[in-house]
Amino acid sequence: MAQKTVRCPHCGQTFSVPETVPVAVCPYCGTAIWLGTGEVFREHFMYPVRHEYNSAYKLAIGVASRQYEAPERLEIDASPTAGLLHFVPLYLYRVRVRAECPGNPEAGLEESWENRLATSSPPKGLPESYVFPSRGRQFFEPKILERGKYYQPDIDPKSLISEVSSKASIKALREAFNWCEKPKIVNETVWQGIVHYPFWEIRYSYMGEEYYALVDAAGGRVVYLEYPIGSTKRATLVMAAAGIMGISALLGALVGSSLDAPLAGLAGGVIGSVPGSAVYLRSGVKRRGIYRLVG
């Protein structure tokens, strides 16, 4: 992506940002700047780090140890190796959608605050659909720039307004249909500011292998996690796959024998067992499992 150089009007430092974005954040002092006019943009917030590295590691290893395939002594034998704070940019929107009917300009009205990812390259494991809290933010403090990896926004905030307000539009229309047949939608949603949100990248080792986790440093949720699959569990899963295939083959042969076609029944039983046994076999062959936060 093409870059351009920006000089911060507050501290005088220069830095590079993508050419396509309308706003940049100075990585030296935290000042947000409109690139078109050079005007300082004051609505810049952050979420505080409520879970430090040790706490984030314990959360991650706790979730890893509860996975079915994980080794029984994972919490005891695993050890932390590295950690990095990621400060990920969000755009903050004040959503206000009206559905008008004749004589009733607010037949349907929906208002809320919404956050959306403002970077196209978030940390590994962070889904685009991750639900961020709408409360708890505070004004940005430049000192966080010294604590970890800081991301510049690289998405046009105006391009997300339709997505951000879509649910509100549907709700407003449903309400307005009680008043008239053809309500008119008026979208007054505005981009309100930038919010930086913290995530811990956690690295830990087990039996000489390194694993990765991503933990919400403000809310404490384990978003993404790699964990080892124990050798005993792998063997059990492979045996389960073999058992399914064997039983299916036997049942198929018995059915085939009753029809004077034992080999055809045997083959049919084996083929029919493939979907069920494949699930266990894939897990038994893998040495590394993946956990992803759902919802």
User: Is the confidence at residue 286, as pLDDT, over 50?
Assistant: no
Choose among 67, 95, 236: nearest CA to 160: 95
Q: Which of 95, 72, 65, 96 is nearest to 227 (CA)?
A: 65
DSSP 67-91: STTS-TTHHHH-EEEEEEEEEEEEE
Instruction: Please answer whether residues 96 and 191 qualify as being in contact, where contact means their C-beta atoms are separated by less than 8 angstroms.
Output: no
Q: Which residue intervals of the chain are DSSP H helices? A: 53-65, 74-77, 161-176, 231-258, 262-285
126 pLDDT band, cuts 50/70/90, is very high
Q: Could you count the other beta carbons within 10 Å of the beta carbon of residue 35?
A: 15
> What is the structure's pLDDT at 43?
79
Least reliable range by pLDDT among 39-48, 116-125, 273-282: 273-282
| Mean pLDDT to the nearest integer, 75-92 | 95
- Distance separating alpha carbons of residues 265 and 251, to the nearest angstrom: 8
Per DSSP, 140 falls in state -
Q: What pLDDT does 81 receive?
A: 97
**285 against 206, higher pLDDT:** 206
Mean pLDDT, rounded, of the chain: 83
Span 223-271, pLDDT tens digits: 999 999 875 554 566 555 455 665 665 665 566 566 666 666 555 555 6
Beta-bridge partners for 115: 92
210 pairs with which residues across the strands? Answer: 205
Please state the rounded mean pLDDT for residues 27-51.
82
User: How confident is the model at residue 220, as a pLDDT?
Assistant: 95
Q: Specify the range with the lowest mean pLDDT, choosing from 81-85, 120-124, 168-172, 192-196.
A: 192-196
- In the predicted structure, residue 47 carries a pLDDT above the cut 90: yes
- Does 146 have pLDDT greater than 90? no
* β-bridge mates for residue 79, sequence order: 205
Characterize 37-48 residue by residue with b for buried, 16 or more Cβ atoms within 10 angstroms of its Cβ, and e for exposed.
eeeebeebbbbe
Residue reference for tokens 């006019």: 37
Give the burial string for 245-271 (b: 16+ CB within 10 Å, else e).
Answer: beebbebbbebbeeeeeeeebbebbbe
Region 199-207 average pLDDT? 96
Query: In the prediction, which pLDDT does 221 show?
Result: 96
Which pLDDT value is given to residue 284? 45
Q: Residue 80 forms beta bridges with which residues?
A: 204
Q: Is the pLDDT of residue 285 over 50?
A: no
134 confidence band (pLDDT: 50, 70, 90): confident
Per-residue model confidence as pLDDT tens digits over 56-71: 999 999 999 999 889 9
Q: Please enumerate in sequence order all residues whose Cβ is within 8 A of that of 88, keeping only pairs 6 or more positions apart, or say none.
A: 117, 119, 122, 123, 126, 151, 196, 197, 198, 199
| Higher per-residue pLDDT: 82 or 145 | 82
Cα angle 219, 224, 230 (rounded to 5 degrees) comes to 125
SS3 282: helix
Work out the percent of the chain whose per-residue pLDDT is above 70: 79
Residue 155 has pLDDT above 90, yes or no: no
Q: Name which residue leads in pLDDT, 229 or 219.
A: 219
pLDDT of residue 106: 92
Q: What is the DSSP code string of 93-138?
A: EEEEEEEEETTEEEEEEEEEEEEEE--SSPPTT--TT----SS--E
User: What pLDDT does residue 145 have?
Assistant: 76
pLDDT at residue 254, rounded to an integer: 63
3 state DSSP class of 145: helix
